A and B are shown apart, each in its own frame.
Chain A
């Protein structure tokens, strides 16, 4: 069997029935198509998925339910819904429907092949880069996106990273993983301003602090730490001065693109994401955010469970990035990172779960649900684990009005699976972004097809 080019309309078949047929025939958990990255057209007719167990996340699962979406938005979810005339009804009995998963801390889009410098676009020169915008460097034709969405991760928050000496990395952008251009892919930009908190004891698990080797806090490091903190404070002071200047009509300052980019964050229109792992850094960041009067999200947060009460009191959310990691310290329990989310949950802290957010994980965003599963294996209730990669991520990224749960009025961005998406053995069988049926083939399925053919040929020889 060679690759299949398939036009559902031309065949007069229901797109999805055909798709399921193919799944059954080939054993591949995706539509098999030669062209991996043809973005889907705008939804032009209402679609109803029926017969599945729907996991709306916002409320408990509904068995044998239907979901109707049109014009890219969810119109209704429930056991009985009014069927529009021209609706395409797809029977997905025995399946489950979930909101599209959201990876809240990722380099996907800014790197293609980690070791190849030419494909790295995530760290700008210098330490103060608030004006760097992730979305503008996202390559929509990255082979990483089809691979990622094929496992239900339909959105990634693409985050620029600070270099070894960097402080302010730039602004992140929430991208849906389908579109002809980066502009079409943008769900929201900027999502937040990303700051790498200076570390005294270097090391850790996030993209920002992974680079340096563990080392004791020497006097030099202490100096560097203080210098970095001063620089950070200075940047915010400068940006505020600039804002004052801009708002004061009589003496407008000449444009400074750095401080200009920081205005939305100074005005608390969007949060500042501070990447910090250790308790000391987290506390310092919370204190700093209060002083600066900015909205704070902690990213990384390996020690966040140690500061549960503080984070709840100050209303600081956390993106745990990642769960599957080695403990920060030799003496800590082996499951310290695994049980971090469960403890945050007990403390009442709002949190989401992410992969490592480093260049190695850019290509592995598809494994996001297993980060959440590990948290569930170590004490986090399963429904909370699901929230951590759907509605909680949406809340923290500021898109909960559009994404993260299956509710009328929200974007029709969802997945159909044959089981719990947090289980590896589960397959994602369909995906919709804004109601558009997404091609689940990828470089991986293509190569799989190609070489299956090799062995078929060998056997028939």
Chain B
């Protein structure tokens, strides 16, 4: 027994000596872990966050959300409107030393278009990718695509040779019954290299000494240790106790505590995500209401009255503790097409709303069920509870049905809800993305998240025209026209834009990225 104890002590001492203490190690925690290191297998925020450290894309959204060159240095549409040309950065090497060339781009984008890829929808307009020479790539689209570049900011480039040598020409598939090599191994061109990966437990990255941008980016961080900590209280405790240096998603009730702590700071910025309610405006009768043979939501006056009844300031102050930005449109402020006029918050006017209800023939109100997620957005269920009270003021008796996201979202896709909450982020930073999914009539290619049953063929035609309109001024005009209709018809009830809170040591200088994507190559330590 004594010998065993001695052996344990020696082992401990050896490990203590082996671990190099470095001042520039960043210990980072967030609620969710990356699901896989295969950059085309999951189209999901935390997964992209990790991939962005190790892999790179042709174009990149910086910490302000602006598109900047990454592996491509220049890009422009060619004389043929169906072709975009990208000039690649010379002299870039993958972590294993292989050269980055046009064939890697062709291989990676084609890989991302395979059926098993989760990223293929972003390349749905692409018909082919061609290497013109070693450092030039052309992307061919079916018809002109003026906003192709903004679809490329999460499409990561792998090394063709590495992928083929390790049998990962395809993104993960669930039939094979085997883990593919790319799930826990990575070879990118990014500013950080993978050292250790234990899913749901710990990921260690170290600075890439040969990164092409080592003079351009601060690269103060030499090592990143990432730990997912799901429980919000534990995550905050880890920051307060100094065990981690940086956390994403500080819960709103703990903001004050982190702010008050010595040496810690919370940085806040509006997020690329808007929260709103949708209603079944299309069916002849609602399933969950008490009015027979009629659909109250089909009447625009009822929708307008509901829009007026929601007190967005009260939700901001009481439910969100000041951590939201009331919204007048279902579009985050970064998106092309956003104007302050559109986002002007409708004034709360219960008397006028009641008058509208009476005018529509629902002076006695009606009852309906509101479906709400309870683990997806910040305080989602509490927002719905607040809305229930506000709807009650104009006679709409709302029964709240809050469920986990895995049960909530299928209701929207399956047309099983009459009144629901949804949040929407816009990865392309363009209105077309919102229209395609939320406004266009639901069909094979469009409207997959449009649970409102709203259908307007004239509007649909305009939305479809956006995809190939190369005259950007004309395109923006069409976008503005579509928004006019969406606003006038009150198809959705906007609530607010979510606000992001990152907690960190005050010695860290790091702005909040609107997509909740910390790119650590930009992080600097205050000297």
Report whether chain A binds chain B: no
Residues of B within 8 A of A (CB): none
